[in-house]
Amino acid sequence: MEKLMHLHPLDSVAIVREPIEQLDVIVIDGHPVTFAHALGFGHKIAIRPIAKGEQIIKFGVPIGSATADIRVGEHVHLHNIESNYLVTYTHTHEFTEK
Amino acid sequence: MNLQKNSTWQGYLRPDGTKGIRNVVVVVYLVECAHHVAREITLPYRDEAIHVIGFGGCYPNAYADRMMRMLCTHTNVGGVLLVSLGCESFNRQRLFDTIRESGRPVEQVVIQDIGGTRAAIETGRAYVASLLEAVRHVPRVTMGFADLIVGTVSGGSDATSGVTANPAVGKTYDALIRLGSTAIFENTGEMVGLEATMSRRGVTPALQIELKRAVEKAMRYYTVMGHGSFAPGNAEGGLSTIEEKSMGAYVKSGTAPISGLIKPGDRPPVAGLYLMDIVPDGEPRFGFPNPNDSSEIAELIASGAHCIFFTTGRGSVVGSAIAPVIKICANADTYRRMQEDMDINAGKILTAGVTVDELASEILNKLINTVGGIPTCSEALGHQEFVLGYKSFEPIGPSCLPS
């Protein structure tokens, strides 16, 4: 069975179905990707290149924005995405006029 | 799906023409002080379709009053026994009249008038025997998907819930909407971050505004309650943002357009998908909107749900009074440990390569069996949880319902 699970056709990320061990190699979209770190169930992996500022799509909807360029196979998590929501609601004064 | 489209089953015809999938006698305590007597009345009838519901508070509450009237005249209810202490402030007469006007047999026992606990139990049991006999004569009627209202909740969620059971219920909801059923989803507190995504599904611009406002209200309310929305444990499970976490629960609603916004006790006027706004209006008071899963289930039932899809990862065991609960277990390990409590193993999506679509078909088949009278796991185990507390709501606005 596939180690990764693609939840929706529009998604730019897949989730880890079976835990990934360090140095596991998984072929994503024809490209072999070597994993530097172990990743548990539910974590997200980019299945296409995502540019800084672009929306991350999971379940077919935006779940946040990329804070850096993300390569295919890269772990997508707190270090490279941020909530659209928190930006809107925690920095209202700075961002509403943009 | 074609076979399912033509599925019909034998329901129970109520005097107003509505149809139920169960034929329950409810014994209703009108204040906590009458709870023990109500429970004792039902004890000899454990194997009959007889459920205890009630309201514990002695102070009056318009929401609880309406909930009780809607629940006692629910399509799955055939007859009612009210159990009153006597001095509580609940408007017993109004409830009694509402039930009688619905054409259902209704009786009442007032503990203080009849001379105490033992006399009330004895009289109550005699009433129950006659109510059970009366509901045996309720006419049967052919029911189909167009007659059906379902609701969904989740409880004891874990990292699997958002990728197995919840998407499978979402697909089932899409199928049911196509089949002409009515489906209700709720918990606006779990939609924080998804206001834009969710409200866009509203069928009119005015409804879209109402949907967005409902989530904004939930956020304000839960902030006052001190409810943390994104915990470190969520991030360990791979969730990165609040909208991602919310999406895992919200995905139960499927992808159909949203026809309307209702509040607990409002009956959807026409078939379609409805959001239930469960967060009270006005200044936060009375505590958490729904302190547990059972209070959410009671609200879905008060709005007419015949049957509830309950998704769980950690393994909830609850059922409900009045309406059967179909438990869909998101996690295959939990399913193995708690099989007798679980109607569906959605964990197979992760462990056995079953697709979400295949699982949705399995849920639909389970639903067909359930509405046809086969007990769900929680029904077979005798679960009949019921919780009703204090709340306050303004009526819904004119743009909330389809015209």
Question: In this structure, what CATH number is given to the domain that contains residue A31?
Answer: 2.30.130.110
Residue B14: inside a domain: no
| CB contact residues (below 8 A), chain A span 68-87, against chain B | 76-78, 81-86
* pLDDT category of residue B33 using cuts at 50, 70 and 90: very high
E strand residue ranges, B68-181: 77-84, 106-110, 140-144, 149-154
E strand residue ranges, B128-181: 140-144, 149-154
Residue B9: inside a domain: no
Where residue B53 sits, what CATH number does that domain have?
3.40.50.2300
Q: Helix, strand, coil: what percent of chain A each, to 5?
A: 10, 35, 55
Report the alpha-carbon distance of residue A71 to residue A47 in Å, rounded.
8
| Mean pLDDT lowest among B80-89, B102-111, B169-178, B216-225 | B216-225
Q: Are residues B131 and B183 in the same domain?
A: no
Residue B280: inside a domain: yes
The stretches of B237-376 forming alpha helices (DSSP H) are 242-250, 293-302, 332-337, 348-351, 356-371
pLDDT at B300 over 70: yes
Token pair for B350: 């992760």
pLDDT at A68 over 70: yes
Of B90, B111, B137, the last residue of a domain is B137
Q: Are residues B94 and B154 in the same domain?
A: no
Minimal CA separation from B298 to chain A, in Å: 29
Q: Give how far Cα B152 sits from Cα of B22, B133, B155, B279, B292, Å.
A: 18, 33, 10, 16, 14
Report the alpha-carbon distance of residue B77 to residue B104 in Å, rounded.
8
pLDDT at B241 over 90: no
Best probe of the B interface among A7, A56, A85, by most B CBs < 10 A, is A85
Identify which of B318, B181, B330, B322 has the alpha carbon closest to the alpha carbon of residue B252: B330
* pLDDT category of residue B229 using cuts at 50, 70 and 90: low
3-class secondary-structure state, position B330: coil
Q: Are residues B296 and B368 in the same domain?
A: yes
Minimal CA separation from B155 to chain A, in Å: 19
Token pair for A42: 């539910």
Of B103, B118, B137, the last residue of a domain is B137
Contacts with B26 (C-beta within 8 Å, 6 or more apart), sequence order: B50, B51, B52, B53, B71, B72, B77, B79, B80, B81, B321, B322
Q: Are residues B85 and B168 in the same domain?
A: no
Token pair for B191: 């939609």
Best probe of the A interface among B240, B350, B354, by most A CBs < 10 A, is B240
**What domain range includes position A52?**
4-95
Q: In what order do the strands lie in the sheet with A55-58?
A: A55-58, A61-66, A81-82
Q: Are residues B57 and B161 in the same domain?
A: no
Any chain A CB within 8 A of the CB of B160?
Answer: yes
Report the alpha-carbon distance of residue B36 to residue B353 in Å, rounded.
49
pLDDT in the model for residue B289:
87
Rounded mean pLDDT of B66-95?
Answer: 98
Q: Are B335 and B345 in contact (CB under 8 A)?
A: yes
Q: Are residues B91 and B164 in the same domain?
A: no
Q: Which residue has the higher pLDDT, B398 or B28?
A: B28
pLDDT at B177 over 80: yes
- Chain A residues touching B242 at Cβ < 8 A: 83, 85-86
* pLDDT category of residue B228 using cuts at 50, 70 and 90: low
Q: Are residues B171 and B124 in the same domain?
A: no
Tell if the CB–CB gap between B163 and A16 is shorter than 8 Å. Answer: no
Residue B5: inside a domain: no
Q: Are residues B382 and B240 in the same domain?
A: yes
Residue B266: inside a domain: yes
* pLDDT category of residue B167 using cuts at 50, 70 and 90: very high
Q: Are residues B158 and B288 in the same domain?
A: yes
Contacts with B349 (C-beta within 8 Å, 6 or more apart), sequence order: B163, B164, B168, B355, B356, B359
pLDDT at A88 over 50: no
Q: Give the type of residue at A33.
A: V
**What domain range includes position B392?**
144-400
Report the alpha-carbon distance of residue B32 to residue B85 in Å, rounded.
9
Report the alpha-carbon distance of residue B56 to residue B69 in Å, rounded.
15
Burial class (CB in 10 A: 0-12, 13-18, 19+), A24: middle
Residue B215: inside a domain: yes
Rounded mean pLDDT of B366-375?
Answer: 98
Q: Are B256 and B273 in contact (CB under 8 A)?
A: yes
Contacts with B126 (C-beta within 8 Å, 6 or more apart), sequence order: none
Of B103, B137, B171, the last residue of a domain is B137
Token pair for B31: 């204040």
* pLDDT category of residue B341 using cuts at 50, 70 and 90: very high
pLDDT at A90 over 50: no
Percent of chain B with pLDDT over 70: 97
Q: Are residues B152 and B294 in the same domain?
A: yes
- Looking at the 3D structure of chain B, how many domains does it have? 2
Q: Give how far Cα B172 sits from Cα of B49, B57, B361, Å.
A: 28, 37, 7
| Mean pLDDT lowest among B224-228, B261-265, B285-289 | B224-228
Q: Are residues B385 and B283 in the same domain?
A: yes
Tell if the CB–CB gap between A82 and B241 is shorter than 8 Å. Answer: yes
pLDDT at B48 over 60: yes
Residue B55: inside a domain: yes
What does the longest C-alpha to C-alpha distance in chain A come to?
Answer: 49
Any chain A CB within 8 A of the CB of B192?
Answer: yes
Report the alpha-carbon distance of residue B316 to residue B338 in Å, rounded.
9
Percent of chain A with pLDDT over 70: 86
Shortest CA distance from A87: residue in chain B? B193
Token pair for B324: 């059967």
3-class secondary-structure state, position B63: helix
- Looking at the 3D structure of chain A, how many domains does it have? 1
Could you report the per-residue pLDDT of B1-29, keeping only the tens digit for each?
445 667 999 999 999 999 999 999 999 99
Could you report the per-residue pLDDT of A46-60, keeping only the tens digit for each?
999 999 999 999 999
Could you report the per-residue pLDDT of B275-296, keeping only the tens digit for each?
999 999 998 888 888 889 999 9
Rg (CA), chain B: 21
Shortest CA distance from A5: residue in chain B? B350
pLDDT at B66 over 90: yes
Residue B3: inside a domain: no
Q: Are residues B128 and B179 in the same domain?
A: no
